[in-house]
Chains A and B, each alone.
Chain A
C-alpha cells in the first residue's frame, strides 16, 4: 500500500514538474491569420530546435485582428508574449505601455536598427515617429500593390483593340489614368466565354479595408494628412483639391471597374475575385503575392506591379513589427526569440519561406531582385510608403474615415469634399480630446 502511494505521489510530482517545465519553456506569439503566418510557423521550428523553447501561435482573422489584440492589450492580458501588431498600433503600444521598449536590449545584444531598411524602422519600430525609441523589430515589410492578368494582356487581339482605342499598349499602367483605361477596357468584356471585370479594389466597411484602398490613390495624388510645419493642422491639407480629386477617382474606379457585389471587400474577397478569373486587376498586399505566384509557376498568368503614381510616387504601407508584450511573464524568452529572429541568416530564410524580411543584408543581396517576380516591386514600394496615422488614438481616427469614405464611394452619399470635411471635423474632436489640439 505504502509502495503504491509512493508511486502515485512521485508520478504526480513528475507530471507536475514536466508540465511546469513545458510551460516555462514556451511562448505564445499573436499575429493575423494569413499566408505569411504559415511561413512563420515553419521558420520558428528552427528556433525551437536551437533553444528548446516551444512557440505557440494564435492567429486571428484580419477583420477581427485589431479588435481582438487591442482588447487583449487594453485588458493587460497575458495571452501573448510576442505580438506582431499592425504598424498603426505602435503609438498606442508605446504610449499606454503595452509594448516593452527595446533600446537597452538592442544595445546589449548588439542588434542595430541600421541593419534594417530605414523606411521599415521608421514605420514599424519608432515612437514618437522619427525618434530613436524602438518598440518593435521590423518583422514583415509590406505595402499595397497590384496583380494583373498577364495572360490576357499578352493576347494580341486584345492589345490591338486596346491600342486602337487608347493609343498605347496594354501593360503595366504608368499612372492611375492608365489603370482606369485598362480596367474599363476589361469591364464587362467576355473572355473565354466568361464575363470579366476591371479590378477588385478595397471597399470593406468594418475594419480598415476601404481606407487602405482610397489612401493608395490619395497618396499617389500627393495627399498629406497635416501641415508639415504645424502638426494636426489638417484643414487645407487633407481636404485639398488634389485629395478630393483622388477620392473622386477612387469612386469612379469602384463604379466603373469593380465586379458586381464588390461593395464590402478586402484582402480575401480581392484574392477570390482574382483567382476565380473575374477581374483583370486586384489590389492587395505583397504578403499575398508568394501564394498567388506559387499557383503560377511559369509566371505566364500573373504579373505584379507597385502602386502606380499619379502626381507623385507613393504606396500605402502595410506590414508589422514584432513587439514584446509588457504584461507577459516570459519577457526574457520573448526577447530571446527577437534576438534569434534578427539574425541575417534567419531573415534570409524568412524571405525564402514567403515572409518579407526588412533586413538590409537580405534586401541588398545581389540575388534578391531575381529571387521572386515581385521582389523589385517590393523594393521600389518600400522606398515610397506612407502610413495612416499611427497615433495612440488611431482607431478613433480610422472609424470616421471608414464611415465617411464608404458613405461616399460605395453609398454615393454627398460629395468627396463633404466626406473629407466630415472626417477632419471628427479628427479634430479626437485630437482635442487627446490634448493634441
Chain B
C-alpha cells in the first residue's frame, strides 16, 4: 500500500505536486480572506442590520453606494483621513530619513541611541493614545509646558480645539512611527557599497553631489516601501486616535475607519457599512497598486 502511494506520487508532474502543496493554503486564504470579502460585497447591496435578525433582508441595488458617495459627512471624513495621511507620511519621511542619515555615522553610543529612538514603536497604540491625553493636558501636560517654554502661547488645548486636534494626532503618530521609517532607511543606507562613494571621491564629487546621486537614489526604494506600509496602516488608523480624541472635537479627527466602526458596530447598519468598507477597500487597493507600480519603476531605474 505504502509502496503504491510512493509509486503514484513519483508519477506526478511537478505542477501537480505544486498544486498539492499550495491547495491547503489556498483554501485557507479563500475561507478567511476571499469569502468574507465576497460576502461583504454581496451584503453591501442589501439593507441588512446584524442586530435585527428577524427582519427581512431587502436587495437595494446601488442605493447604499449612492447614499455614501452623496453624503457630505463621508467626504469630510475622507478629507480628514487624507490630510492625516499626507502630513504623517511627509513628516515621517523627512524626520525618519534625517535620523537614519545621522545614525548611519559611526559614533559612540550609536547603538544605544538607535534602541532608544525605536522605543515608541514598541508601545501599544492604545496606551500611546491614553498617555498623550495627559501630555496634551492644558493644565499639567508636559507637551504644553515645553511648547510654552520656547514661546509663550498662553493656555491652549490640543485635543479640545478643532484647529489643533488634527495636528495633535499627526504629532503622536509621527512620534510613534518615525522610528519605523528610520529603521528601514537605515537598512537601505547600510546596504550602499562603500566603493560607490570612493569612486565618487575620485571623480571629485562633493558631499551634496554624493548625497543626491548616490545616497538618495539608493535609499529611495526603501523609504518608499516604508511609506507604503505606513500609508496602509494610517488609512485604517483607529485605536490611537479613538483613545486620544474619540474622533472629536465634534468630528474634527473622526477618520474614515472610526466612522466605519461606528456605522458597523454601534449603529449596526451592516449593509450600509459593508458598502462603505468596499469603497474604502477599493480606494486603498487602487492607491496601493499605483504606488507599487511607481515604486518598481524607481527601483528599476
Category for how many chain B residues contact A: 20 to 34
Say if the beta carbon of A60 comes within 8 Å of chain B.
no
Q: Are B267 and A399 in contact (CB under 8 A)?
A: yes
B157: contacting residue among A205, A260, A408, CB under 8 A: A260
Interface on B for A, CB 8 Å cutoff? 47, 50-54, 133, 136-139, 141, 155, 157, 159-162, 242, 245-252, 254, 262, 265-269
B265 adjacent to A67 (CB under 8 Å): yes
- A interface residue numbers (CB < 8 A to B): 66-67, 70-71, 74, 92, 96, 204-206, 259-264, 278, 392, 395-396, 399, 403-404, 406-408, 410-413, 433
Cβ A264 vs Cβ B51 within 8 A: no
Which single residue of chain A is at the shortest CB-CB distance from B52? A96
Residues of B within 8 A of A206 (CB): 242, 246-248
A261→B137 contact, CB < 8 A: yes
Residue contacts A-B, CB under 8 angstroms, 25 given: A70-B51, A74-B268, A96-B52, A96-B53, A96-B54, A205-B247, A205-B248, A205-B250, A259-B139, A261-B138, A261-B157, A261-B160, A264-B159, A264-B160, A264-B248, A264-B249, A278-B139, A395-B266, A399-B267, A407-B249, A408-B250, A410-B248, A411-B162, A411-B252, A413-B162
Residue of B nearest to A265 (CB): B160
Q: Which of A92, A204, A392, A406 contacts B250, CB < 8 Å? A: A406
A-B pairs, 8 with minimum CB distance: A263-B160, A407-B250, A411-B250, A206-B246, A205-B248, A260-B138, A411-B249, A410-B249
Classify the secondary structure of B's interface with A: loop
Contacts of B133 in A (CB 8 A): 264
CA distance A407 to B267 in the complex (A): 19
CA A433 – CA B268 in complex, angstroms?
A: 12
**Which residues of A have CB within 8 Å of B269?**
396
Give every chain B residue within 8 A of A412 (Cβ-Cβ). 162
Do B155 and A260 touch across chains, with their CB atoms under 8 A apart?
Answer: yes
Q: Please measure, in the bound complex, the distance between the C-alpha atom of A204 and the C-alpha atom of B245, giving whole angstroms.
A: 10
| A264 adjacent to B250 (CB under 8 Å) | no
Closest Cβ neighbor of A411 among chain B residues: B250
Extra contacts besides A264-B248, A403-B254, A413-B250 (12): CB < 8 Å: A74-B50, A205-B246, A205-B247, A205-B250, A260-B155, A262-B160, A263-B159, A395-B266, A406-B248, A406-B251, A411-B162, A411-B250
* CB atoms of B267 and A411 under 8 A apart: no
Please give, as numbers and ranges, the residues of chain A lying within 8 Å of B245 by CB-CB distance. Answer: 205, 264
Which of B139, B141, B265 has the largest number of chain A CB atoms within 10 A? B139
